[in-house]
Structure 1
Amino acid sequence: MAGLLGAAPVAAATAEPSPTASASAPAAPTGFSVGGTIANGDEPVEGAEILVEGEGFSETVATDADGVWRVDVPAQGSYTSTLDVDSLPEGVEPRDPDSITRTSNLNTTPNANVLFPMGESTIEGTSTWDTVVTRLIYGINFGLMLALAAIGISLIFGTTGLNNFAHGELLTFGALISFFLTAVLGWSIWAAIAVTLVASAAFGWFHDAAIFKPLRRRRVGLVQAMIVTIGLSIVLRYVFLMIFGGRTEFIQTGFNQVVPVGPANLQASSLISMAISVVVLVAVGLFLTKTRIGKATRAVSDNAALAAASGIDVDRIIRIVWVLGATLTGLSGILYGVFRGVSWIMGFQILLLLFAAVTLGGLGSAFGALVGAIIIGLVTELSTLWLPADLRFATALIILILILLLRPQGILGRRERIG
């Protein structure tokens, strides 16, 4: 199986290069790129040349009439972008002439946005503001991805009281299935999304039917059930490792065009991801507030015994919640795999962020999970303005501790949910 999942990348690596292709340039777009926008104040700078080098690759590109430049690179790795000062128009100078080289790490993201501030240092605040706006946009995008998975955690906890420590593996499952369908079988991203959502729903159904419903029937306590989820998480992670291997890959969407949004240069796939997340989250909100099953779900979450006495089939509602939660989390895994990469441990790596989002919003509150996820997404992205990027996820732990100290029930939670 490991060889099967790796078939597409290996085939691409061993293919003979075209006789007419440059030795340093990729024969076709790979999904990895470095780019940015150069402007002097509000005026775009056209014709500025940037040299991109790294991993045996070298290419020079010039900015277009909108000041935008972009270079497709052949693979993951570290790349340097150097601005050619002599190519700048007369009267345009870099803000810091001694800092015209930027290093981008494409091991954790497929695309890097590089900034070369122009003009006098007196407008330094403008550049800082542009950077803040860029991180805000990325933070909202990241928060929406987290919200899809965090709502799944919140729904399961609300209806069963169970903290599912294997929830991150539901996210990993969605990412791995979509990568397999697109990279190995060559399916379109839309077909892969549809099949992955069905597979994720089935995976959630299996969780409840094979493991947690039998445990409920035997009246196993929540602490014991939580320990089961911890063991399940470990087992699933190493199953994923055996099948997928330890590498990191990216899901290719084909939407690699760069779209300027204010000071930020976003890929079209980022905007599509945000749109999908918003539409799905609105649909979930309408489902929970306007449909009979949604109202029954909220009733079970509020008081399962009273809901059962009123004629609601609690086991059926819990099964629906597991399926819905797994489906949302699988979609989150697809979107996360596009921007942060697919690996066997990806779900476990962001599990703390998911629990922090749920705790911040309020345990058992789906709408609280949405609010908490947006806040966590913004904080983790904005923290990179002051902290190394590798430490941004640690801010979620700080937020989690502060929440438990200051408002244990969360923003939208109720006091009776504490504990």
Structure 2
Amino acid sequence: MGAGGTPHVQKLARCLGALLAVLAAVLLAAPAAAQGSGETVHGTLTYQDAPVEGVTITVSSADGEEVGTATTAADGTWEVPVPGPGDYAVVLDAATLPSTAPGVARDTIETTVNPQQRKVVLFRVGTPESGGGEQPAPSQTAPSEGGEGEAPGAGTESGGGAEAEAGDDVTATAGNNRFLQLLISGVRFGLILGLAGLGLSLVFGTTGLTNFAHGELILFGAVAALLLNQAGMPVLLAALLAAVLSGVFGWGQDRGFWRPLRKKPTGLIALMIISIGVSLILRYLTQFIIGGGRETYDQYTYQDPISIGPVFVTTRDLVIMGICLVLLAGVALALTRTRMGKAIRAVADNPALAAASGINVDRVITTVWTAGTALAGLSGVFFGMIQGVDYLMGMRVLLLVFAATVLGGLGTAWGAMVGALVVGVFIEVSSYVVPSELKTAGVLVVLILILLFRPQGILGRRERVG
């Protein structure tokens, strides 16, 4: 090998060694997976944000045979191993509730456990409902290894089903009230989706990279907040720190390998394939750290809904929507009123001309990576508050983020915001007329139809071909 190639080989070896050292440190510091490899049913029993101890919970198979019994611990947690996948009935013995808990809305929840699944079931402690328990009790659904978990954004459902996404507060509604309830859920989901899609759209606009690892950037924030929360940090402080750590992670990605790859230069197809590899590495590293089940934060998993006119909403959801609105408005103002925002728009329009005008393109792209990943991480925390955290959540939400950004106009921040609201509202409201299992497919059909007539998306610019 010539002398000219030796420094490059040595530099590459040092970079690979540093990367392996970082990965080794992460693996050694990562907590061992708390979950076993078998199927279990578990949950946390709380009343007014306080754990309820000493309550007996029994799990029976579909044919009525008792599988196991557990008593809630001092922190309200309980767990019953089950012999395998199948249908089970989870029964809470209301007679064992302490005097501080007035009762339970529904003492029996029927659930289905999938292979290798730790199914989470939550009982709603409070005044028992009249009429045989028509009010469904919330529970959590952990995904199977095959990724068959419900798509993110599952909002308030009506009917007698006992299962909902983790943290969703289920309220029986009918007619126009149910439509308004679904509309509120859609707006909430659309705002979080818009926060998640901003980074994807801006990175594509400034670099041309279609980042298939963006879902794992959302997952990174959710997991960082989860680990901090499990270490004893309050959820709100953990969410703020997780957003900061996500920003640092995005900065490190760009400086560590995306910028060197751009300078090679590496083709966009190769970069896209690399992003798929990064996605797989982060996804299964996350599985190693938190296990294959679904975990929840210690706070704000369930809240009693408050009535606002004909609809019910929790304080948690109002705060989440308010934060999303403030951040989306802040990004919009920053892009139009600040020097960095104008530089980002200039680089997105024409990187070569922006560089010739004296703009530091690398600095702009690093800023986009940092801010976009921080917003994605915060959106992951919000998704985790509503539906729980598992290692497949990034993969499930990625398709909807792509749908929102493409629908609004890939590469434009405004398009990501508008497209996310359209996707979020359509997904939720469509379940008013079609089965909830088809609502995600429905939005993709609408996406195809819109792009047939407006290929550039709602706010995208038409480009000349040829």
CA 1:30–1:267: 2 relative to 1, 3 Å: farther
Aligned-pair CA distance for 1:76? 2.7
Find the aligned partners of 1:284 and 1:342 in 2 and give their Cα distance: 26
CA contact (8 A) 2:192 2:382 kept: yes
The one of 372, 376, 384 equivalent to 2:431 is: 384
1:56 corresponds to = 91
What count of residue pairs does the alignment treat as equivalent? 363
Aligned-pair CA distance for 1:23? 3.2
Deviates more, 1:76-85 or 1:128-137: 76-85
1:104 aligns with 2:171: no
SS at 2:460's partner residue? Answer: coil
1:399 aligns with 2:440: no
1:212 corresponds to = 258
Residues 185-224 of structure 1: pairs in structure 2 closer than 5 A: 185-224=231-270
SS at 1:265's partner residue? Answer: strand
Aligned-pair CA distance for 1:332? 0.4
2:274 corresponds to = 228
Residue identity in the other structure for 1:368 = G
1:114 aligns with 2:160: no
SS at 2:457's partner residue? Answer: coil
Residues 16-165 of structure 1: pairs in structure 2 closer than 5 A: 21-23=54-56, 55-57=90-92, 59=94, 76-77=120-121, 84-85=130-131, 102-106=160-164, 108-115=165-172, 127-165=174-212
Aligned-pair CA distance for 1:58? 5.1
The one of 264, 276, 280 equivalent to 2:323 is: 276
1:317 aligns with 2:344: no
1:249 aligns with 2:295: yes
CA 1:176–1:20: 2 relative to 1, 3 Å: closer
2:228 corresponds to = 181
CA 1:72–1:148: 2 relative to 1, 3 Å: farther
Residue identity in the other structure for 1:250 = T
CA 1:188–1:79: 2 relative to 1, 3 Å: closer
Find the aligned partners of 2:381 and 2:108 in 1 and give their Cα distance: 23
Find the aligned partners of 2:234 and 2:439 in 1 and give their Cα distance: 33
Find the aligned partners of 1:10 and 1:400 in 2 and give their Cα distance: 38
1:374 aligns with 2:431: no
CA 1:54–1:12: 2 relative to 1, 3 Å: closer
CA contact (8 A) 1:143 1:373 kept: yes
Find the aligned partners of 1:343 and 1:309 in 2 and give their Cα distance: 45
SS at 2:161's partner residue? Answer: strand
Find the aligned partners of 2:159 and 2:200 in 1 and give their Cα distance: 43
Q: Could you list the per-position Cα deviations for residues 94-143 of structure 1 after superposition, in whole angstroms to 9, with x for gaps in the alignment?
A: xxxxxx9822214x32234232x7xxxxxxxxx31111000000000000
1:48 corresponds to = none
**What is the TM-score normalised by the length of structure 1?**
0.77
CA contact (8 A) 1:352 1:397 kept: no
Which residues of structure 1 form unaligned runs of 5+?
A: 32-52, 61-68, 89-99, 118-126
Find the aligned partners of 1:284 and 1:129 in 2 and give their Cα distance: 35
Q: Could you list the per-position Cα deviations for residues 12-68 of structure 1 after superposition, in whole angstroms to 9, with x for gaps in the alignment?
A: 98xxxx99844359678979xxxxxxxxxxxxxxxxxxxxx96222559xxxxxxxx
Find the aligned partners of 1:231 and 1:278 in 2 and give their Cα distance: 33
Bigger relative contact order (CA 8 A; separation at least 6): 1
Find the aligned partners of 2:456 and 2:319 in 1 and give their Cα distance: 34
1:350 aligns with 2:407: no
Aligned-pair CA distance for 1:186? 1.5
SS at 1:205's partner residue? Answer: helix
Residue identity in the other structure for 1:109 = A
SS at 1:251's partner residue? Answer: coil
CA 1:219–1:71: 2 relative to 1, 3 Å: same
SS at 1:104's partner residue? Answer: coil
Which residues of structure 2 form unaligned runs of 5+?
A: 1-28, 45-50, 58-70, 78-87, 96-103, 110-118, 135-157
SS at 1:260's partner residue? Answer: strand
CA 1:19–1:259: 2 relative to 1, 3 Å: closer
Find the aligned partners of 1:109 and 1:27 in 2 and give their Cα distance: 21
Residue identity in the other structure for 2:442 = T
Aligned-pair CA distance for 1:6? 3.6
SS at 1:385's partner residue? Answer: coil
**What is the TM-score normalised by the length of structure 2?**
0.70
1:286 corresponds to = 333
CA 1:72–1:140: 2 relative to 1, 3 Å: farther
CA contact (8 A) 2:225 2:238 kept: yes
